[in-house]
Amino acid sequence: MTGLWWSMLAVSIVVIVFVTVMGGWGIVKGRRRREEDIERNVPWGDRFILISGIGVTGAILVAFFLVSLRAMSTLARARPSNLEITITGHDWWWEARYPNGAVTANEIHIPAGERVHVDLRSADVIHSLWVPELAPKIDLIPGRANEMWIQADHPGQYRGQCAEYCGLQHAHMIFFVVADTPADFQTWMKDMAAPAPDPSTALAVQGQQVFLSNTCIGCHAIRGTPAAGQLGPDLTHMATRSTIGAGTVPLSPQTLEQWILAPDQIKPGVTMPPTALTGEQVRALVAYLLTLGFEQPS
Ligand code: CUA
């Protein structure tokens, strides 16, 4: 495809230079020649127009048409991908589900160098998935499934953004596509599908109790515990993510505490309600949530 584009550019440059030179030449020399040609009745101009204007132009267009047809048939025979991810847009965050049961939010890992098939859905209004470095924008539309391919040629982190106005926090509907080496990706997907690690400190155990006995479980799931809410992001391995609120603030004990107590102050309009917890309960809850990483192999 790139070859076709460059050859079109090269031919266009040649044509533009040729036409410009001929035009300039015509302006400078044309007037004087015309008188002589008319007198001598030399039809050189007609032949020149026939050959270059119709013959050469036609040949170039037909040649590019044929080459484009070949490129189109190559594109139509899109290679099947080994991985299919479902991405759902929510007001105002992104959910990604993997075939092995892994669920995450706002940090979408893919294997570098591989074509990934993405199913796009919306839980509420129209959003648009846009990762400028990887793929064109495509809408996520309520009630219908869209699809696209993405591929990152090199490992790295690629910033993405909702590109369809979807309400108050449209601008804070940020996500990252993280391209890992294929081996790292397989490890990540396996770890992400695993249930949450059990809390190991007294404070974290207390925090888990706070989580399970409050309204948190109405919206959030932590796999491996009774919490199975589906309205908000899955928190099973939330400590592996780098931001809160879909890229709104970096994840830290302080921001997490603020977020739990008054999410609306960080992200006005956010669906998550404020939480009435004592300072001690919040500290325990934060301690627990920050243990939700990946279990280290022992
Ligand atoms: Cu979602 Cu804008």
Residue 74 burial (C-beta neighbours within 10 Å; 0-12, 13-18, 19+): exposed
- Tell the CATH topology of 83-193: Immunoglobulin-like (2.60.40)
Phi, psi (degrees; rounded to nearest 5) at 141: -115, 130
DSSP track, 83-143: EEEEEEEETTEEEEE-TTS-EEESEEEEETTS-EEEEEEESSS-EEEEETTTEEEEEE-BT
| pLDDT tens figures, 235-277 | 999 999 999 999 999 999 999 999 999 999 999 999 999 988 9
Q: Which CATH superfamily is domain 202-289 in?
A: Cupredoxins -  blue copper proteins (2.60.40.420)
Q: Answer yes or no: is the C-beta of 90 below 6 A from any ligand 1 atom.
A: no
pLDDT of residue 205: 93
Tokens representing residue 293 in the block: 């990483």
The Cα–Cα gap between 99 and 97 comes to 7
Q: What is the whole-number distance in angstroms between the Cα of residue 97 and the centre of ligand 1?
A: 19
| pLDDT tens figures, 64-96 | 999 999 888 887 776 677 899 999 999 999 999
CA 114 to chain centre: 15
pTM: 0.75
- Atom index in ligand 1 nearest the CA of residue 170 equals 2
Give the count of beta carbons closer than 10 Å to the beta carbon of residue 123: 15
Q: What is the whole-number distance in angstroms between the Cα of residue 93 and the centre of ligand 1?
A: 8
Q: Answer yes or no: is the C-beta of 142 below 6 A from any ligand 1 atom.
A: no
pLDDT(40) > 70: no
**Mean pLDDT estimate for the chain:** 90
Per CATH, 83-193 and 202-289 having the same topology is answered: yes
Query: Domain boundaries in the chain?
Result: 2-76, 83-193, 202-289
Q: Which residue is it, tokens 């974290």?
A: 204
CA 122 to chain centre: 15
pLDDT of residue 126: 96
Which amino acid is it at 99?
A: P
Which range (24-28, 109-113, 218-222) has the least confidence? 24-28
Q: What is the whole-number distance in angstroms between the Cα of residue 283 and the centre of ligand 1?
A: 32
Please give the span between the terminal C-alpha atoms of the chain, in angstroms, as a whole number: 48
The helix/strand/coil state of 297 is coil
Q: What are the beta bridge partners of residue 178? A: 109, 157
The Cα–Cα gap between 289 and 103 comes to 16
- Atom index in ligand 1 nearest the CA of residue 125 equals 1
Tokens representing residue 19 in the block: 């036409």
Q: What is the whole-number distance in angstroms between the Cα of residue 141 and the centre of ligand 1?
A: 11
CB of 93 closer than 8 Å to CB of 106:
yes
